[in-house]
Structures are given as C-alpha cells and as structure tokens.
Amino acid sequence: MSRAGIRRGALAAALAAFALAAPTAAQQPKGGAPRLPQGVTWQPQFYNPAPAADDLVLPMPCGGAMAFRRVDVPKAGALDDRRIVVGGSDSRFALAESSRDDFIDGAFADPSDPGKRYYYLAKYETSALQMQAISAAPDKCPTASLAGRAPAAGVTWFEAVQFAQRYGEWLMANARSVLPGDDGAVGFVGCEQAFAHAWGSTAGLSPCRAEPKAE
C-alpha cells in the first residue's frame, strides 16, 4: 500500500498525498526520540523502527501511531509551483509511468524561511497492523507484532482511499489538538500521489536524481 501524507484545507484535497500541516514546537524536540502524543502504547519498533528527533508522530486507534517526515519544497513566491519530471524512460512501463512534467508545492509556509514551503509524507509504507487498527472494532484491537509491521498487501485503490478517510475522521474526532495546522486550517490525511512521492523520496528528503525540470 502507498504511504500517507498531510496537507491543509479543503482546497488542497485534490492534491493531498497522505500529508500534514506544520507540527507544533512540542512535537519537534531538538534531540533524542520524537515526542509521542497521548494514547500511543505501541512500541516504536512497530511503527517507527528508525526514529528521528524531528519525526512527526500521530496517534491511531488501538494505541497505534504513524510517523511522518517533513518534505521541503523551495519556492520564490506564493504562486510559484515547482515543475519537476516524474516517471521514467523504460518502454515496458510507458503506459502508466512514462516521463512527464508535473508540479509540486508545499501546502504550508515556514515562518522562518519565506523561500520554502512543505508538506508531510508518511515515513514508511502503511503496515498491515495500521490497516487493522483503523478497521478494527474498539473491543477487537489487533495485537502489535513484528509480522504486522509488514506493508499492507493486496489492497485496492478504493480500500486505500477508505483507509485514509477513516484515519482522517478518527484524528479529527480524537486527536484534533495534535494535528498540525497553518493559518487557522487543520491538516488532513490523504493517499499519496505520484508527484508527492517522487519529490519526497528524492529531492525533497535527500540528494537525488529527480531534479527540477530545466527551462
């Protein structure tokens, strides 16, 4: 199953990639492990086996959690989307993954850097355990295990969308106070889209091949 990301506001819904808004200072300790929101009982090995101090961790039902990483998108102005190239040149996958132009923008402003916006992308693929936590009845929570940490497989697009919707609704109802926000808008989750993955897994998080398209 694809990863998740967080953005803000209804107008960003068509562009959402399982993404979130900006975390509060309390969620970004300067050192050590990331601070956990109230209610998380799973051990980090089940949802964030390689924790970093600036991870954004959000709760899930059944004492679970999901870890996110911030993805920066440089920009020159408020309406300056960044043009990138996604896809590849392998003719075997040209129908679905041919090289093409796309555009990306971070939905949230960085007050300390006007030349940068950002969004959040799930740090790992959604696991079978996380899928079960969202779909389980309150009295039938899954038991956290290393086997459950494997990526959820055999999931249709519609099931992935339903997962994102249910998780977003649960967060709004049970953990709204820990959701990132920007300019009065609260972050929401949605299924990852190709351009968000391409930028977030390459240029947005580390030096990579996916350079901005040359003019």
Dist CA 90 CA 83 (whole Å): 21
Residues 6+ apart with CB under 8 A from 170: 60, 61, 134
The pLDDT value given to residue 100: 72
Give the total residue count for the chain: 215
Q: Determine the residue type at 13.
A: A
Q: Which residues pair with 151 in a beta bridge?
A: 127
Residues 11-44 have pLDDT tens digits of 222 223 344 433 333 344 445 567 788 889 999 9
> Could you give the angle at which helices 157-174 and 128-135 cross, rounded to 10 degrees?
60
The pLDDT value given to residue 113: 81
Burial class, 109, CB count within 10 angstroms (exposed 0-12 / middle 13-18 / buried 19+): middle
Residue 36 burial (CB count, 10 A): 19
Residues 41-83 have pLDDT tens digits of 999 999 999 999 889 999 999 999 999 988 888 776 666 777 7
3-state secondary structure of 31: coil
Residues 6+ apart with CB under 8 A from 87: 97, 98, 99, 100, 194
Question: Does residue 200 contact residue 120 with C-beta atoms inside 8 Å?
Answer: no
Q: What is the DSSP letter of 212?
A: B
Question: Does residue 211 contact residue 203 with C-beta atoms inside 8 Å?
Answer: yes
Residue 172 has pLDDT above 50, yes or no: yes
Instruction: Give, for 166, the enclosing helix (H) or strand (E).
Output: helix 157-174
Q: What is the mean pLDDT of residues 152-173?
A: 91
The pLDDT value given to residue 12: 28
The pLDDT value given to residue 6: 54
Dist CA 192 CA 122 (whole Å): 9
Residues 6+ apart with CB under 8 A from 100: 85, 86, 87
Exposure of 97 in the CB half-sphere (CA atoms within 13 A)? 10
Q: What is the mean pLDDT of residues 80-93?
A: 73
The helix, strand and coil proportions of the chain, stated in percent and rounded to the nearest 5, come to: 30, 25, 45
Question: Does residue 51 contact residue 28 with C-beta atoms inside 8 Å?
Answer: no
The pLDDT value given to residue 35: 73
β-pairing verdict for 185-191 and 4-8: antiparallel
